Structure 1
Amino acid sequence: MLKLQEKMILLLPSIPSPQAKLLLPILLVQMALQLLVAKVATAGPVALPGCLEACGNVTVPYPFGFRQGCFHKGFKLTCDETRHPPKLLLSDGVEVDAISLSGGKVRVQSMIVRPYRNMTRPQSLGFGVAWPDAAWPDLNTGVRLAVSIKHNVLVAIGCNLVVNLVGQETVFNGNANGDIYNQYVSACAALCNYDGTDSSETCSGFGCCQTTISQSFAAYGVQFKQLDNSPSGVAFIVDRDWFNRINVRAIQNSTTFHDFSVPTVLEWWLDVEGDRDLLVRDLRSGSGWRCISLNSLALNVSDHYGAVSCNCSYGYEGNPHIVNGCQDIDECLQPDVYPCDGTCTNMPGTHRCTPKKSASRLPGLIAVIAISAGSGIVLSLLGISKITNKFKQRRAKNLRRNFFKKNHGLLLQQLISSNQDMAERMRIFSLEELDQATNKFDHTRILGGGGHGTVYKGILSDQRIVAIKKAKIVVQREIDHFINEVVILSQTNHRNVVKLFGCCLETEVPLLVYEFISNGTLSFHLHGQSENPLSWKDRLRIALETARAIAYLHSAASISVYHRDIKCANILLTDTLTSKVSDFGASRSIAIDETGIVTAVQGTHGYLDPEYYYTSRLTEKSDVYSFGVILAELLTRVTPVFASHSSEVTSLASHFVSLIRDNRLLDILDTQIVEEGGAEGAEVVARLAKACLSLKGEERPTMRQVETTLEDVQNSTVNLSSQITRVNRNAVNDRSYKGCKGSEVTRVYSLEKEFIQSSEIPR
């Protein structure tokens, strides 16, 4: 109280001392009332009774805690009180900056890694794992944390440096310790400027590069590749918002940057199986659960099966993980947040604001209120409920209308109405129809995830079974990918290209409705645990059908389509093993008289055309290279990127071409093909794959030539040598033709122009 008096006297420098002493008690009462109001406004327990609510400057809400009896199983932290101020740490020593209840996020300080000479395996990014001896999170502690792919980016700083982000997960196949699997997730390259410097104010690829993290894994590591054999530079996973606010040039010029740590955002959640004591079954909610506190809800975490995130209901705040932790907000005590020009009345979960009335009308109003008090209360309760519902419905309707306009819905409506062919093959669905078809996008309806979204199984009102793609990340780039896919598929009509039934434009990112393909992907049948491996006859037919679809995209329309992400995971199989090419989110359309377009490099590691990677020039031969990798997979059943006997990561494309060049096809050919008597045809397909995998695009055949060769193999109408000769001759003729075309012009199409062109293309 003495310190408070001193502060109040300092606030009154212009008032004479005797007057200040008289006013001081009044001001103290006012200040105490303000403190009481602030305390009530933020009421609600944070930690369990008798437990500390903070470690140093970091608030520690339950289920987290650092003293015995103060944390839930799997959420134990450490408070290092030997430091000043004390530091909050994860069990592996990673420093915690902040914990968010409503957002389900933990912000930590993560390490920066540097390359070293003769590096043979990825380096851990330091999230509680000695790479690659264990998987994080620690299964013994049950911590439910993961790197947020929404809030973080991978950053590499250096000169002529390529960094691959490798995800690690543990799979238990009857093994108590589990088997550890590595998978390439993202990559970026930091190059030098032409003058040899690597300084840049933005992280745009020169001296610094950044890329999104496409998949969520338990742990991550990075693998460096120095293009000039000079091991230097750094890599790290960092909070996207934090990194966008800093000066990249200052970081590059800093001599102590390698000793820094950077903020990284982790996500945390509850498990419906392991955390039942913090959850209550509630069949009225979308997840089927609510939190232990009344007036709370549990939301599904989309990237993790069986995971939920707890929040207090609207109008309440506090800790939903504690009994009665969600307390009603008294909106009347927070006029800055909830303004009321009249009389404010707090109500559970909301408040009521009664306008001020003039003094002359007050007696009459009192009489009216006295007469109608009984019925007024009932009507008020019913009216508030009805008005609230109407406001919610109107707000949702306006939001859907705004999204529809933003996603070019009016233009697409006009195109469909003016094009009979398009109107017969696709339609615009409402959000209500797709909500009903997927049971409000229930997690049990998830079929899988692609590079640009999650796919749900749905049943339309006419009993058609469909697949509905919904974006994972709400950014403009994903919206452009989805609209691009509508443009491509609306002008495509081929039996081996997945059909687009329509789309929904009433959400922030459009929803796409496809035909339902029930038999999974080609990747699953080749590299998964399928009980019935594909026969050589089926593999050859699938290759031919896929080649026909790609050839159609390249040359059958007035505007060519380059898929840009041809891979086994994007080839779907029906019950009769008919192939369907899918996922056109990264595809590009160009005029038929053009041979390529300069664009940002995009694709999947292991399938990416090296010429496209280094020149950024996309041509039809980029798809040919990716298809060559698929042919190699069909012949060998080896993944595009695999670990060799020396534990080094090896590209299937380069390894396959090397063996074919040395006439050692049998060293890698799938023994099932030999047993089925398909060795002679496999030899032709192998030579065709080698031609497709040429490092120079001009030396590769066209997809029409690939299709013809595969037809000959299937029909067995020509011998081995004549087929190989024709493949090589066609590649040369194709190169000569392209050389006579002179200068090339790159055209850039807006989304509106692409929609208009899509309505004019003949089928």
Structure 2
Amino acid sequence: MGMDMSAAIPRSVMLFEAAAAVLLSVFGAAAAVAAAEGAPDGCTRNCGNISIPFPFGVEPRCYVEAGFNLTCDRSHRPPKLFLGDGTVQVLKISVSDSRISIGPKPVTAGTWSGALSDGGPYTLTEQSQLLVMGCNVEVQVLLVGEESSEGPVGSCSAVCSWRPDRNAWYYTVTGICPGVACCLSNLMTGRSSYRFNLLRVNGAAGPNSSAVAWIMEKPGGLDIYSKPLDDNDYPQPLPVVLDWRINHTTCHGNASSATCRSGHSFCKNITQSVDTMQVQHGHLCHCDPGYQGNPYVPNGCHDVNECEDPERYPCYGVCSNTEGGYKCKCLPGYEGNASVPNGCKGKVYMTE
């Protein structure tokens, strides 16, 4: 998701404050009631090449709560999946690690066409970073709401030379930010929204004092690119990755039975640091160890056959799958630990 700051920066110090957040508010018009039932029949479960697992859904009653509603736009070939009303494209949904990947989205100076409201199910992951491309500009990151008075929680400065005898200055990026005319900075994650201030530094002036900022996934990467910055044709960074959670309940009471519908599943509360306290902030469902699948639907967690994945579950003897686990034994005539190389030794038989 990007912020286009390509307008020329005046000679006076420019303070550009964009009320920013990472996505469009995606709350549906009506509260979903599917949580107590799991995913009902008749729900769209694919859009183009993107799978739509419950607790997400397109039709009413097909998603767990407001914020998990999606739009499948079939005017595209193939169809494209979007959050909420169709503003931010969804590239991948993962139930196992409770994350969603969205496409980078340029945003015009002064506005964010997509904003993630506080209290929604999405927050920025630790895999995110701020990328700034420009000439002698600094972008400051600030929190919103009650924490906005704390000052910048991050910043990134892009510095370069500007030659007045050239129509534009050029940048080249090969794989990652090279450190000239661009910068990368970590972000305070676990938040739903941020503000960004754009400052001119080192007396930057002239028609080419422009910048573009993106929130993107680590490790940062762009295609090989060499282009005038004032072409308004910027390279596209990697997608943004967001954490999601079931937002309005915790595992206390009936939350687990209402949302974690599969056998061999469990509920885990999500906590967030507020001042010096850990505050419960929604929950997630997981399959038990030795099981995989979707814990939000009945019979969604199924046994993992560890013997079919020797890289993750090594066995140098005889592997046999069990419900929720596996056994690894030495070959007949050997004894020891078959889970490690050369762990089995030939049996020694004592004779009188």
Q: TM-score range by the shorter chain?
A: 0.5 to 0.7
Please name the residue that 2:76 is paired with.
83
Q: Distance in 2 between matches of 1:312 and 1:54?
A: 22
Kindly indicate whether residue 192 of structure 2 is the aligned counterpart of residue 192 of structure 1. Answer: no
- Tell me which protein shows more strand as a share of its residues: 2
Counterpart residue identity of residue 51, structure 1: C
In structure 2, do the counterparts of structure 1 residues 72 and 55 end up closer, same or farther at CA, with 3 Å as the change threshold? same
After superposition, the C-alpha distances for 1:188-214 in whole angstroms (9 at most, x for unaligned) are: 111114878563555354200111112
Kindly indicate whether residue 33 of structure 2 is the aligned counterpart of residue 52 of structure 1. Answer: no
Choose 1 or 2 for highest CA Rg.
Answer: 1
SS of equivalent to 1:280: helix
SS of equivalent to 1:98: strand
Counterpart residue identity of residue 297, structure 2: I
How do 1:74-223 and structure 2 match up within 5 A? 74=66, 75-92=68-85, 93-113=87-107, 115=109, 123-128=110-115, 136-137=117-118, 143-148=120-125, 150-169=126-145, 184-193=152-161, 199=171, 201=173, 203=177, 205-214=179-188, 216-223=190-197
Please name the residue that 1:357 is paired with.
332
Kindly indicate whether residue 39 of structure 2 is the aligned counterpart of residue 64 of structure 1. Answer: no
How do 1:192-591 and structure 2 match up within 5 A? 192-193=160-161, 199=171, 201=173, 203=177, 205-214=179-188, 216-227=190-201, 228-229=204-205, 230=207, 231-241=209-219, 243-244=220-221, 246-247=222-223, 250=226, 255=231, 257-258=233-234, 260=236, 262-271=238-247, 273=249, 279-280=255-256, 291-303=260-272, 305-307=279-281, 308-334=283-309, 338=313, 340=315, 343-357=318-332
Counterpart residue identity of residue 211, structure 1: S
8 Å Cα contact 2:132/2:139 also seen in 1: yes
SS of equivalent to 1:97: strand
Unaligned runs of 5+ in 2: 1-37, 274-278, 335-352
- Tell me which protein shows more helix as a share of its residues: 1
Compute the RMSD of aligned alpha carbons. 3.8
SS of equivalent to 2:285: strand
8 Å Cα contact 2:123/2:189 also seen in 1: no
Counterpart residue identity of residue 76, structure 2: R
Please name the residue that 1:526 is paired with.
none
In structure 2, do the counterparts of structure 1 residues 55 and 247 end up closer, same or farther at CA, with 3 Å as the change threshold? closer
Unaligned runs of 5+ in 1: 1-45, 116-122, 130-135, 172-179, 282-288, 362-763
Superposition deviation, residue 314 in structure 1: 1.6
Counterpart residue identity of residue 115, structure 2: G
After superposition, the C-alpha distances for 1:38-93 in whole angstroms (9 at most, x for unaligned) are: xxxxxxxx965443332111111111111222211121111111211111111151
Superposition deviation, residue 316 in structure 1: 0.3
SS of equivalent to 1:271: coil
8 Å Cα contact 2:271/2:280 also seen in 1: no
8 Å Cα contact 1:157/1:235 also seen in 2: yes
Query: Percent same amino acid at aligned positions?
Result: 27
In structure 2, do the counterparts of structure 1 residues 183 and 97 end up closer, same or farther at CA, with 3 Å as the change threshold? farther
In structure 2, do the counterparts of structure 1 residues 169 and 103 end up closer, same or farther at CA, with 3 Å as the change threshold? farther
Task: Indicate the structure whose relative CO is greater, using CA pairs within 8 Å and at least 6 residues apart.
Answer: 2
8 Å Cα contact 1:169/1:217 also seen in 2: no
Q: Distance in 2 between matches of 1:221 and 1:72?
A: 30
Superposition deviation, residue 170 in structure 1: 7.2
In structure 2, do the counterparts of structure 1 residues 247 and 259 end up closer, same or farther at CA, with 3 Å as the change threshold? closer
Q: Distance in 2 between matches of 1:275 and 1:294?
A: 16
Counterpart residue identity of residue 53, structure 2: P
Superposition deviation, residue 219 in structure 1: 1.7
In structure 2, do the counterparts of structure 1 residues 114 and 73 end up closer, same or farther at CA, with 3 Å as the change threshold? closer
After superposition, the C-alpha distances for 1:83-124 in whole angstroms (9 at most, x for unaligned) are: 111111111511011111122211111323465xxxxxxx34
8 Å Cα contact 1:191/1:207 also seen in 2: yes
In structure 2, do the counterparts of structure 1 residues 306 and 351 end up closer, same or farther at CA, with 3 Å as the change threshold? same
8 Å Cα contact 1:167/1:218 also seen in 2: no
Superposition deviation, residue 226 in structure 1: 2.9
Q: Distance in 1 between matches of 2:112 and 2:103?
A: 11
After superposition, the C-alpha distances for 1:212-244 in whole angstroms (9 at most, x for unaligned) are: 112543222422223424451211111122x24
SS of equivalent to 2:103: strand
Q: Distance in 2 between matches of 1:272 and 1:253?
A: 44
